[in-house]
Amino acid sequence: MSFWRHVTRGLRTLADRDTADRDIADEVDHFLDEAIQDLMASGLSPAEARRRARLAYGDRSAVREQVRSYGWENVVETLWADLRYAARRLRRGPVFTAVSVLTLAVGVGSATAIFSAVKPVLFEPLPYPDAGRIVAVSDYADDGSPLDVTFGTYRELADRARSFEAMAVMRPWQPTLTGAGQPERLDGQRVSAGYFRVLGVAPALGRAFDASQDRVGGPDVVVLGNGLWRGRFGADSAIVGRRITLDDDAFTVIGVLPPGFENVLSPSAGLWAPLQYDASLPSFQGRAGNGATTCAWPGGCVRASAPTTPTGSSTPSPTTRWPASRGRPGRRWARGSGSCP
């Protein structure tokens, strides 16, 4: 039987089950009568022929049910019958119905919430160019226990590592914006000059920081997030070069980030200023302090001319021990295999 014949026959059966049942009964009766006639033609009596036919094919009711069970329409009818039965049971037991609905709602809601939280972390790449090349850098003691990352981590890696295209360190910053309008406490970050280069993001207006601004006594400059620029400054295209007051200090706006920029390192941050760390302070102490975060972009694996690390490869191994140098003990660094947290 062709596919379309199966489909049309099933639709006819679903539309008029009584007529379909009569057709099946007629076909079964005709088939069994033909079988009995064949047996009688071979010399058997009518009674013996009917007995042999029943032994071979079963009685007429059993054959009708067997024929009726074939076809996709039987699955649809069975499902519909189960749904009607379930609906009747739910109507008869309102308490059971309420508990069942509540359980399903909690289960579906929990699964949706968990997947919504896990999906961007485990399944979706970071919203940056070549996101697979962005990794987090962690600090570990000789016994393997984690250490708080300080500016010394960044300073030592910057001095010794040769497999990174760009490297950055950052810390939280919460300045108060004053001037026109009500004072407002903002979330931001103090970052080293290479921060936006690590993320592969360029400002839509103006420019990013350079090394001359990321030094002690350097100019007070700031890059605004697109949301803050639109919400507080009315998307003023002439904002670059303007001075705004942050914590009673005048900062010059040098850039505005594009609207699609997503800062996964600090989602609430709306502005950035140079870290301006005092490099004369001890290597593992100072302004960055505990809670600072470093982020590195290894580029040696895709550049043939990249120098190798002390391990002999173009990128550092997951755990690499750097040799001691004057004033700095030998330390072990571990880089995350995924993205910056």
Cβ contact 172:189 at 8 Å: yes
Q: What is the mean pLDDT of residues 241-257?
A: 95
**CA end-to-end distance (rounded Å), the chain:** 60
Return d(Cα 292, Cα 150) in angstroms, integer.
Answer: 6
Is 59 in a helix, a strand, or coil? coil
pTM of the model: 0.57
Q: Are 223 and 272 in contact (CB under 8 A)?
A: yes
* Helix/strand/coil for 159: helix
- The predicted pLDDT at position 317 comes to 43
- Side-chain-facing half-sphere of 141: CA atoms under 13 Å: 5
Helix (H, G, I), strand (E, B) or coil at 144: coil
Name the pLDDT band for 158 (thresholds 50, 70, 90): confident
Q: Give pLDDT tens digits for 9-32.
A: 778 777 787 887 788 788 888 888
Q: What is the pLDDT of residue 303?
A: 19
Please, which pLDDT band fits residue 1 given cuts at 50, 70 and 90?
A: low
- With vertex at residue 34, the alpha carbon angle to CA 32 and CA 35, rounded to the nearest 5 degrees, is 65
The C-alpha atoms of residue 268 and residue 217 are separated, in whole angstroms, by 27
Q: How confident is the model at residue 236 (pLDDT cuts 50, 70, 90)?
A: very high
pLDDT for 82-120, tens place per residue? 999 988 888 888 888 899 899 999 999 999 999 888 877
Nearest to 168 by CA among 189, 141, 140, 145: 189
pLDDT in tens, 202-213: 999 999 999 999
Q: How far apart are CA 251 and CA 315, in angstroms?
A: 39
Return the structure tokens found at 17: 């089950």
Residue 318 clears pLDDT 70, i.e. is over it: no
